[in-house]
Amino acid sequence: MARFAVRRLAGAAAVLFAVSVLVFVIFNVIPNSDPARQLAGRTANPQLIASITREWGFDDPLPQQYLRMMQNILTGKVISYETEENVDERIVEGIPETFSLALGAAAIWMFFGILFGYLSAVRAGGPLDRGLTVLAVTGISMPVFWLAAILLNYLAYQFELVPAGGYVGITENPLEWAQHLVLPWVTLAIVYVGLYSRVLRSNMLDAMGADYVRTARAKGLSEHRVMTRHVLRNSLIPIVTLFGLDFGALLGGVIVVEGIFNLNGVGQYAYESLINLDLPPIMAITLFGAFFIVLFNALVDVVYAFLDPRVKLGSSAR
Amino acid sequence: MESRSPWYLAYRRLRRNRVALAFGALFVAIALFALAAPLWASHVAHTTPNATHTTETVEVDGETREVVDREGGPIGPLWLGAGGRFFLGADGHLGRDEMVRLMYGGRTSLFVGITAALITVLLATLLGLLSGYYRGWVDGLIARVLDVVWAFPVTLLGAALGLALALGGLRIGPIVISGDSVWVPILIIGFVYAPYVTRPVRGEVLALREQEFVEAAVSQGAGPLRIMFGELLPNVISTLIVFFAISVANSMLLESMLSFLGVGVQPPNTSWGTMIAEGFELITSSPLLTVLPGAMLLLTVLSVNVFADGLRDALDPRAKRRLEVHAGQTEPEGTAA
Amino acid sequence: MSADRQGGEPLLRVDDLRVAFATEGEPVQAVDGVSFELAAGEVLAIVGESGSGKSVTAQTLVGLTRSPNAHIGGSVRLGGEELIGAGESELRRVRGERVGMVFQDPMSSFNPVYRIGAQVVEAIRAHRPQASRADARERAVELLGSVGLPDPERQVDRYPFELSGGMRQRAMIAMALMLEPEILIADEPTTALDVTIQAQILELLRRLNRERGLATILITHDFGVVAEMADRVLVMHEGRIVERGDLDRVFYSPQDPYTRRLLDAVVRLDREPPLRPSRGEPPLLEVSGLVKHFPVKHGLLVDREVDRVRAVDGVSFSVARGETLGLVGESGCGKSTLSRTVLQLLEPTSGSVRFDGREIAGLSRRRMRPLRAQMQMVFQDPYASLNPRKRIGQIVGEPLRIQGVASGRELRGRVRRLLERVGLSAAHYQRYPHEFSGGQRQRIGIARALALEPKLVIADEPVSALDVSIRTQILDLLSELQDEFGLTYVFVAHDIGVVRHVSDRIAVMHGGRIIEQGPADRICEQPSDPYTKQLLAAVPVPDPREARARRASSAR
């Protein structure tokens, strides 16, 4: 088990290195223009461009440019020329908000996704299943940012059911913290509820036709027991790994949700930077986003090995 | 006696699925709607998607009304009141014809979505076949590359690429693509989604490769090309078709998100995503400008997804049949020890 | 042991049982009016080919046929209690407490994520919730020991994949007996096991029947198993019982024509084939010290080879022109790997393969290509050996296309002639594999192998996946073709009866090595190696008297 974990983490480190090179390539190599000018953004003028070129080493050969970029980002020296803030600091500031959003949405989608998926599978073919399937397919077809805008407009502005954006820390006022986050949570969760309920339904239907389920019934177990201890248990394993992957990739989805609901997290920072065509924050956020995913993927693999004894004991047992 | 090819059987199964067919028809209707854009623009609305009418007026039921009033508020839907002009009203203080924009936006969104999906599927097919057939270091290399792309959240990667390329344009060898060409988001989205399709395709190729009919081909002296394209590919096509449909849906969603953020389709091109972004600024006063393009997008993606489900059921009925066979009716005989 | 009829009520009475499945097309009548009785303590064998309805019957007895498309009618009375139409809770009580079931594939029949002990114990706790965990575990350990699992204390905590096939099946039997049911239904319990393990499991079932008076319904397609085990026999065909009676009566004087045909096909495999005169020329195929190892890679960061799977570990044999060499061994002995390595479908690790005087081991793909036309293979799985997306005419003609031997009209003509020669109609040229039965698909595979008129054909388990009655047809076909085309065969199989029927010489394989080889009848009648003896002894003989005699002599 330990050997497996070490291998996984070593592999993750290699991927992270490749990721950082890719970020470098995206921003400094592929585009057909002067990288210093791009970094300067809308405040570009010849002196600024010259000083950027010096600071980032754009006159040096590519490998040195790469090292410079990594050095700048990792030591917290990257500054957005547009807003004149320190990029790394602002990212760190936004983490609590982003986490509040992500964890809350994750809790909602896991709960409802599994619930709906289970009900759909158990009552497969019936009206409940069909209804839930309609909801699920609509969920996965939903443009999240549009939904956020619509909900914000109608539920917050027009009917004033919830506050119209902004963030209140949980330590300040838990009730308001939740109130401000309800709409963002729901918006973010809807797509995943649809997706997870379908995946679970499909896994469970597969499992229900499996031989070991037939054995369980032949032993005289109650239908409920068969469904939970055998069908559900085995069907949840892929859901867990899927969750790990999706949670890691959440940074993408939160960009629009935070932006629209004005939640001051890392996502909002990315949102603003994109709108302002401000490059340095996007570079750093992309790198951190990838770091988070790679870390989570490695974690997921380890958890999966833990859950599935075939992987855990693997080659040692024959 | 005519033979029943697997394709014909799938076609028959699809024909029986009324829901899928209905949504397929809906998609076709939307596509026709989008394709009719130039006709509507020139013959009915007498304008273009980017032409502004800020200071103009229209005749509605004998009354003269401003297209954009003094506070910058646009005129609402006139339906046929002005002979089809401003059918859905004007879009904000620029006073452009919303209906015309909606149709042209659809054209762009559909074009980007479908073309990007094509790129994704072609790339995935090639990589999946190579990876699954050769295995070994080829597979290892491709898997590493996919891992790296996979490490990025899709939106963030798309946005990062979109931002970098929108500013600077793209140069691949002798080909130069300017930053506001519609090909930039197409290529970005096509590449970004490639790993997600390559992985399942590779898995399927790996499984097929172990089957005896592939061994038979090798024993007859078939080379790699004949095996990849003659034996493996025909068995993967049905999966690719379903993935293509799903990719169209996902690509359209990603394009609209990127365009909303300003790093997808660039002006003067219009897509439903850019329209939602523009409408968002006026959402409290003219919500219709946000609702319309989003609703169109939702309907389109929904119809593609439902049709894709129908395709999957038609092409691989085993999944559904599992529901029906619980008591192992006819089992293949005597498995060898 | 003949049934101890206690007189009076049978334990189980089945009356006009019917099961129909609605499908996309016509409804399928899987079970069409089946009636029989089971007396306490007797062993009843239900035998039939695939599609006969025997499995569906067994599962319907305890209400396990749950598809929404199934229509079930008739009556099943267990000691007076009607089971058809009974409520779920009654059926649940019957399952496990009064009727235990054992299925064919113990690997997939156990849940892979729970330990064996947990699954065995689950049965008790579900029926007797007041039983303590410790008691239940103790009983599980005891039962696992009594079915012959060594070291049951440790096995209880193992996962299914950690056990061998035979041990898993023993565990499954133990699990079925946890609540001491009166009836055990075993659905093809040994089909997925090696022949030597099969013998052990059958022995176990016999012992359980004797010691506990456990009435057993044994579902099988193998007449050898029936001859070893049954007191009474039911023969099923297309959903109906076509013959019923005591074991000896059914075997020695069958009344029904279908039964007679089946027994005929089975028994024939025991007879010896006519001897082919040896031609005294240099051998067509000479294999010498052939080795095929698969490296097992493991490591912290970089994969290093830590072990090897020695699939083929130094094999030598030769095959004369026109002869048939039978290669027999159990699963995992390496025979499939050997056949593929000989054909250079796998690259040999070391050793020599001389074909027609020429060394071919390790030849490059390009050099090997023209030679491939002379050595072809017939594969085992009729479903996986034909590309489902191609028409059969295309499949059979492919080798001709690849080798550039023929094209266009000539190619089509040759394919048509091949199809006819193997017993199919040339008019089926445009059909797809899924439109044919298993036996017909094997014929297509044979036609494909012969398209290039090879000298050597390696047949890898060509009839294992087929029904008994079809087997002899395919074997006869292969024999005719051998005479007609002057072919040399290497016939690989795990069933020594089949191998004996077709081979001039036999090589017995075990653990990657050939442990004994020689003329077919000598190997089968006077084996010298202990493993060969064990193998031969384990094969169930489809002759009740002989089976009894063997059991009696081994008891002495």
Is A125 an 8 Å CB contact of chain C? Answer: yes
Q: Do C66 and B333 touch (CB under 8 A)?
A: no
Convert the pLDDT of each residue in B69-126 to its tens digit: 777 778 788 887 777 788 888 888 788 888 899 999 999 999 999 999 999 999 999 9
Grouping H, G, I as helix, E, B as strand and the rest as coil, residue C29 is strand
CB of B294 within 8 Å of any CB in chain A?
yes
Is 80 exceeded by the pLDDT of residue C204?
Answer: yes
| Tens of pLDDT, residues A36-67 | 777 776 667 788 778 777 777 777 777 877 88
Report pLDDT digits (tens) over A163-181: 777 777 777 777 888 888 8
Nearest to C330 among B3, B234, B337 (CB): B337
Which superfamily does A93-316 belong to?
MetI-like (1.10.3720.10)
Q: What's residue B287's pLDDT?
A: 87
**Selected residue of A203, A212, A304 to mutate for chain C interface (largest C Cβ count, 10 A):** A212
pLDDT tens string B36-62: 999 988 888 888 888 888 878 877 777
**Cβ pair B337:C198 closer than 8 A:** yes
Please tell me the predicted confidence (pLDDT) of residue B32. Answer: 95
Query: ipTM score here?
Result: 0.87
Residue B268 predicted with pLDDT over 90: no
Give the integer Cα–Cα distance in Å for C454 and B98.
Answer: 73
* Tens-place pLDDT, residues C329-377: 988 888 999 999 999 999 999 999 999 889 999 888 889 999 999 999 9
Question: pLDDT tens for residues C386-427?
Answer: 999 999 999 999 999 999 888 889 999 999 999 999 999 999
Q: How confident is the model at residue C299 (pLDDT cuts 50, 70, 90)?
A: low
pLDDT, mean over chain A: 83
Average pLDDT over residues B232-261: 94
The structure's pTM equals 0.88
Contacts of A212 in chain C (CB under 8 A): 108-112
Percent of chain C with pLDDT over 70: 95
Instruction: Give ranges for CATH 1.10.3720.10 in chain A.
Output: 93-316
**What pLDDT is stored for residue C285 in this prediction?**
92
Helices (H), C115-194: 116-127, 133-146, 152-155, 165-176
pLDDT value at B259 more than 90? yes
CA–CA distance, C61 with C19 (Å, rounded to integer): 11
To the nearest whole Å, the CA of C528 is away from the closest chain B CA by 24
pLDDT value at B3 more than 70: no
Q: Is the pLDDT of residue A1 over 80?
A: no
pLDDT digits (tens, 9 = 90+) for B123-148: 999 999 999 898 888 888 898 888 88
B/e letters for C109-139, b = 16+ CB within 10 Å, e = fewer, are bbbebbbbbbbbbbbbbbbeeeeeeeebbeb
Lowest mean pLDDT among A277-291, C8-22, C173-187, C235-249: A277-291
What amino acid is encoded at A215 in this protein? T
- What does the pLDDT read at residue A35? 72
Q: What is the pLDDT of residues A142-158, one digit of tens each?
A: 999 999 999 988 888 77
Nearest C-alpha in C relative to A10: C301
Residue C456 is given by DSSP the state E
Q: Is the model more confident about B327 or about C464?
A: C464
Q: Which of A151-160, B188-197, C83-92 has the lowest mean pLDDT?
A: A151-160
pLDDT of amino acid C25: 76
Chain C residue with CA closest to B208: the answer is C384
User: What percentage of chain C has pLDDT greater than the value 90?
Assistant: 51
CA dihedral (C399, C402, C406, C409) in degrees, to 10, reads 80
| Long-range contacts, stretch B72-78, CB < 8 angstroms, 24+ apart | B73/B285, B73/B286, B74/B282, B74/B286, B74/B289, B76/B286, B76/B288, B77/B288
The band of B330, judged by pLDDT with boundaries at 50, 70 and 90, is: very low
Q: Residue A32 — very low, low, confident or very high, per pLDDT cuts 50/70/90? A: low
Minimum CA–CA partner of C174 in chain A = A219
C299 CA to chain A: closest CA distance, Å? 8
State yes or no: pLDDT of B155 exceeds 90.
no
**If you average pLDDT over every residue of chain C, what do you get?**
88
**Percent of the residues in chain B that have a pLDDT greater than 90, as a whole number:** 48
Cβ-proximal residues to C238 (8 Å cutoff; 6+ apart), any chain: C32, C51, C52, C53
User: Chain A neighbours among B 47-66 (CB < 8 Å)?
Assistant: none
pLDDT of residue A276: 82
Q: What is the pLDDT of residue B67?
A: 78
**A105: its two tokens:** 């949405």
Query: Between A7, A211, A219, which is nearest C105 by CB?
Result: A211
A-facing residues of B in 249-288 (CB < 8 A) are 249, 253, 256-257, 260-263, 276, 280, 283-284, 287
* CB-based contact C301 A10, cutoff 8 Å: yes
Contact of B111 with chain A, judged by CB distance below 8 Å, is answered with no
Residue B260: which of A15, A256, A289 has the nearest Cβ?
A: A256
Average pLDDT over residues B268-272: 92
pLDDT confidence of residue A316: 39
| C422 touching A (Cβ < 8 Å) | no
Asked if A74 has any chain C CB less than 8 Å from its own CB, the reply is no
Nearest to C111 among A220, A230, A317 (CB): A230
Q: What does the pLDDT average to over B10-17?
A: 90
CA distance linking residue B250 with residue B235, whole number of Å? 24
What the block records as the tokens of C97 is 């407490």
pLDDT beyond 70 at B336: no
Contact list, B330 vs chain C (CB under 8 Å): 30, 50-51
Res B322: pLDDT: 44
At residue B327, the pLDDT reads 28
